[in-house]
Structure 1
Amino acid sequence: GQVTRAQEAEENYLIKRELATIKQQSDEASAKLEQAENTIRKLQHQQQWHKCSSNYNEDFVLQLEKELVQARLSEAESQCALKEMQDKVLDIEKKNNSFPDENNIARLQEELIAVKLREAEAIMGLKELRQQVKDLEEHWQRHLARTTGRWKDPPKKNAMNELQDELMTIRLREAETQAEIREIKQRMMEMETQNQINSNHLRRAEQEAISLQEKVQYLSAQNKGLLTQLSEAKRRQAEIECKNKEEVMAVRLREADSIAAVAELQQHIAELEIQVLYENNDVHIKLTQSFSFSLI
């Protein structure tokens, strides 16, 4: 039981350290998103300045404005996803600090299956997002190849090209942020699964420890009862042995008295026999003397 608890404590420590790493990555992603927001505001100011010039293509400016709005919406979605992820990290930390008492193992298995399904979906989404990032990078490289000689163009055209470059940079940064968020979510799902497994292991270890403690208490009480019975049996045995010794001593005393009485009776009989013998001899002598006198 103690070894299992030590292993669980070590795994929980690793999970906490991983959560700290995820929070740090989340902070870095938030910083990147804030930087992207500042760049978007800068582009919006540039866009307002360019609208004042009638030499720019109005259709291109409108298209650029739409793309900026879309980038801003994507940024807001990323912020919401990041906030949700941070809340999830806090929730995992709370669960990690105080493991819930899950009595329904079937429910826990269903939750694990659901987590595995979400994990598979996250992996697929991550692959798709990486492919999108790869496509954007290729598009960006082609764009750079097309705009290699832009410094030869007039200043106004160069400003428009810079605006396009900054917009493409924001889109790439936003895609990279989305990829980082997907990766963090994937790691969070893996950690949630491991956390639930650890919770289940810890719950079973605690139940086993409680069961063993109850068994030890039962055996201790049973041992105490047996010791009491043994002491009582020893006391009774001592009483019986003492009583037997007393009875044996009484029998021996009665036997000694009987032997003494028999010896006394035998001695008395012997004395009586001697007395009878003397009396018989006296009678015989008297009879002999009487017979002798009668003959004379």
Structure 2
Amino acid sequence: NYSLFSHMDVAENIAFGPKIHGKSRDYIRDKIRYALKLVNLDGYEHANIVDLSGGQQQRVAIARAVVNEPRVLLLDEPLSALDRKLRRSMQLELIKIKEELGITFVFVTHDQEEALSMSDTVVVMNQGYIQQIGTPESIYNEPENAFVADFIGDSNIVDGLMVHDKLVRIADYDFDCVDVGFGTNRPVDVQIRPEDMELRPPQDGGFNGVVTKTIFEGMTYNITIQARGIEWLVKSTKHYQPGDEVSLWVDPFNIQIMNKPESEDERAMEND
């Protein structure tokens, strides 16, 4: 709900806040011009709100909020109605606004890529529980539990057994890792990002598998591999055909070990 005034045109909607605050006519005119340029609505000053598309109305709402220069701005899915190209442009513009005006943005989104690219600090929540707070890099590379790992980007999340420090067993195969402090012979969750798995010729990697599906995504292929009773997702620049035999290998630094929930309360916090 953009809460725009249908009896006012675009310029009047944007000017509403500054008028309430008693700003001068010249100030308001400059702010309207700046805001319209910012949200790519030049020339729409006198357009009727009801004649605009949903995406255009959304941009007017953003413009109307920004011209007030608040100390904190809450944005709840503000770019959801925009097409991909315009959404990316608006992401960059909002970052620019934040830096220029020193405004703190509380930006609510279900778009993981948007959260990672726009934020200084990310808070991942599930059913009202905070799962993890950190930088985009730490959230992506060091998720604290399976929910965060699965929610932020594509992941292979499988059951593992921490044999001892720096050694984890996945599907009866022992992998070197770099994690310590998880105990001995303890069940754990293991995360491996698809881009961190390397495909090698059979018998030349961790363990063998068979390609079951390949999807071309432009720069990379999304490859599904069946290996040791687990379906693995791998991103690769090399094309593989269904039926191809491969070996899966992963660098120890790219294996992320996570604690399994030990109680019903913890499980409720981590699962949908």
- TM, length-normalised to structure 1: 0.19
More helix by share: 1
Question: Which of the pair has more CA radius of gyration?
Answer: 1
Q: Which has the higher contact order (CA 8 A, sep 6+)?
A: 1
- TM, length-normalised to structure 2: 0.20
More strand by share: 2
